[in-house]
Chain A
Amino acid sequence: MTELFAFLLTGLTVGFVYALVGMGFTVIYNASGIINFAQGEFVMAGGMIMVFLLAGGVPYLPAYLLAIGLTALLGVLLWKLTDLSRDSSQESLIILTLGYAIFLRGAAEVVFDKELHTLPPLLGEGHLTILGATLSYQALLVMAASVLIVAGLWFFFRRTRTGKAMIAVSLDPDAARLMGISLKKIWILSFSLAAAIASVGGILLTPITSTNYEVGIMLGLKGFAAAITGGLSNPFGAVAGGLILGIMEALVAGYLSSEYKDAVAFVIMLLILFFRPGGLFSHLGVQRV
């Protein structure tokens, strides 16, 4: 029982990070129809920038805000580049954003280094014991911050004019533009928002799993699997998808085989794509938030 509970907690912690990455995918996808394969690199960028700011003597809080801000700026930069692209067929956009991912990985290699880095836990080394299973303060922080972000996004999409405008654009860009919504602003916002969310995940996860220049590949792909599992059109589906993938992964690693844990997310994603391409919750008929 204790073992199972420990696996569940590990799964939840990682699952929340997949959820943050997955939400970023859906935010950009709904606003612009683009799948940004560099989403995982935002996670990497957040963690790495934070590591090097701290190493450069910047205090914790300013470093934290700066890391998020810089990553968000990176998001805007990528949007600018995408905007330059003349051909906008889906294949070209997929390859373009794959190019961003490779470029950012290469840039991190040059600007930072190839070493593995970690961060001191924000709330110290302590941990809670729940039903005999330990949960570090940092893991608790990952969960709490993720829940806060999800709640914040929910409020943003439901209650604010800008958030509603984003949903309007995702439903019908032409009609939204006729209503006076600036598509350009929405796109910029979606890219920076997705980057900022992912960078928070990267910063909070680094004390637990460490980070390096290529950590974004797997995180990005699993975040995408989370988004597909939950349904691409709904950011909150991605949260459920991320948690499911994280927990399944932890259970497989714990009970079956730790070698094959990385395959779990992709097997689930393929099953969803084959049998329920609209995502797990498509039967609810809820299309987009």
Chain B
Amino acid sequence: MRALVRRWNLRPALGVTALILALVPWMLSNDFYYEIAILALFNAMIAVGLNLLMGYAGQISLAHGAFAGLGGYIAAILTGRYGLAPLFSIAVSLGIMALLAYGLARPILRLRGHYLAMATLGVGIIVSIILNNEEELTGGTDGMSVESFSLFGHTFTESWEWYLLAALHLLFLLWLAQNLIESPLGRILRSLHDSERAPASVGVNVARYKSLVFVISVVVAALAGSLYAFFSGFISPQEAGFNRSIELVVMVVLGGMGRLYGAVIGAVILTLLPQLLTSFEDYQTLIYGAIIIGVMIFMPKGIVSLFDRWRRRG
């Protein structure tokens, strides 16, 4: 890891993001707005992690909703049923998820394209079926309530505290991801995206790097999933469902695959969208589907590509 974060490597983009995150609370006039903003930040975290896997290493995953949800469930069960401290239970949850991801990585990441999509989808559905059926542990389809989150004796109750926590996590993750992308590891990952034979032929252990980035993205998803479970005080199998996994993939694609801040923009848009569409509740799924189709047909490189065009012209 030390090699990855040798320098401070602070970028203007990170500063701008920090500035925006600092200004947003002025627009959040009530707890409901805060709730949406916090959800957007956690979604952005998962999307940034997933983008490392999809956009940089070129491996699709239709199971990240399940991984985020499962991470949340494990943390919630450890605090609620076994009385562990929240911080400790999150740490254990991340450890378990890392092991699970590592175990799955080898057989799954050998597959490519449709086969990979389908295998991850299968894993995600099996996870969600287990969460739905193990009622004694998970509360079944109704979900379960989650203890409040406390850190060193301080219980997080205020919205702004959660906002701060989520924003700091996202900024730290963005900084880490920027370093990762620009490190030698990042170059290897990008070379995997184009062709796996080329890096393999110069002696790169392709399977190892794919596994590594898979584990990183799963752990990030599980962290965001756990924190969100504590924040909302409730978790249900829907958070780990197939639709949730697709939603996360769409965030990455909508923003722009392989663009660090694209994932953030995609996550923010897709989190706000249902709120803007509440008056069209019956048409929500229809509009959502239409947006995915429209984006894939007319701007397959994502929203960030529009900025590129504009910058080139200017």
Contacts and interface: CB of A to CB of B under 8 A. Distances in A.
B296 A266 contact: no
Contact of B289 (A85, A89, A92, A106): A106
A92 B254 CA distance: 11
Looking at chain B's contact residues, is the secondary structure mostly helix, strand, loop, or mixed?
Answer: helix
B293 A100 contact: yes
A250 interface: no
Interface residues of B, number: 43
B92 interface: no
Given A95-B253, A269-B118, 15 more contacts: A85-B300, A87-B296, A91-B113, A95-B250, A96-B293, A96-B297, A99-B296, A100-B289, A101-B289, A106-B285, A106-B286, A217-B242, A232-B114, A270-B126, A274-B107
A21 B282 CA distance: 28
A95 B292 contact: yes
Contacts of A101: 289
Contacts of A266: 122-123, 125-126
Given A102-B246, A274-B107, A225 B122 contact: yes
B105 interface: no
Interface of B: 54, 58, 60, 107, 110-111, 113-115, 117-119, 121-123, 125-126, 129-130, 132-133, 242, 246, 249-250, 253, 257, 282-290, 292-293, 296-298, 300-301
Contacts of B283: 106, 110
29 contacts: A35-B114, A35-B117, A35-B118, A81-B293, A84-B297, A85-B297, A85-B300, A91-B58, A91-B60, A91-B253, A94-B113, A95-B296, A96-B292, A98-B246, A99-B293, A102-B288, A102-B292, A103-B289, A103-B290, A106-B283, A107-B289, A224-B118, A228-B115, A232-B114, A259-B129, A263-B125, A266-B122, A273-B107, A277-B111
A23 interface: no
B285 to A, nearest CB: 3
Q: Which of B122, B130, B133, B283 has the most CB of A within 10 A?
A: B122
B293 A273 contact: no
A270 B119 contact: yes
A95 B251 CA distance: 11
Contacts of A96: 292-293, 296-297
A101 to B, nearest CB: 8
Nearest to A114: B282
A86 B115 contact: no
Given A96-B293, A106-B286, A270-B119, A263 B126 contact: yes
Contacts of A103: 285-286, 289-290, 292-293
Contacts of B115: 228, 273, 277
Interface in A245-269: 259-260, 262-263, 266-267, 269
Given A85-B297, A94-B114, A102-B246, A262 B122 contact: no
A88 to B, nearest CB: 9
Given A91-B60, A102-B246, A263-B125, A81 B282 contact: no
A109 interface: yes
Contacts of A94: 60, 113-114, 117
A267 B127 CA distance: 11
Contacts of A95: 249-250, 253, 292, 296
A87 B288 contact: no
A277 B113 CA distance: 12
B297 A109 contact: no
Contacts of B123: 266, 270
Contact of A102 (B129, B132, B285): B285
A91 B253 CA distance: 9
B253 A92 contact: yes
A14 B298 CA distance: 39
B114 A221 contact: no
A106 to B, nearest CB: 3
A104 interface: yes
A230 B60 CA distance: 23
Contacts of B289: 99-107
Interface in A156-189: none
A273 B114 CA distance: 11
Contacts of B111: 273, 277
Contacts of B60: 91, 94
Nearest to B254: A95
A29 B117 CA distance: 15
A221 B289 CA distance: 18
A86 B290 CA distance: 17
B243 to A, nearest CB: 8
A97 to B, nearest CB: 9
Given A81-B297, A94-B117, A96-B296, A106 B284 contact: yes
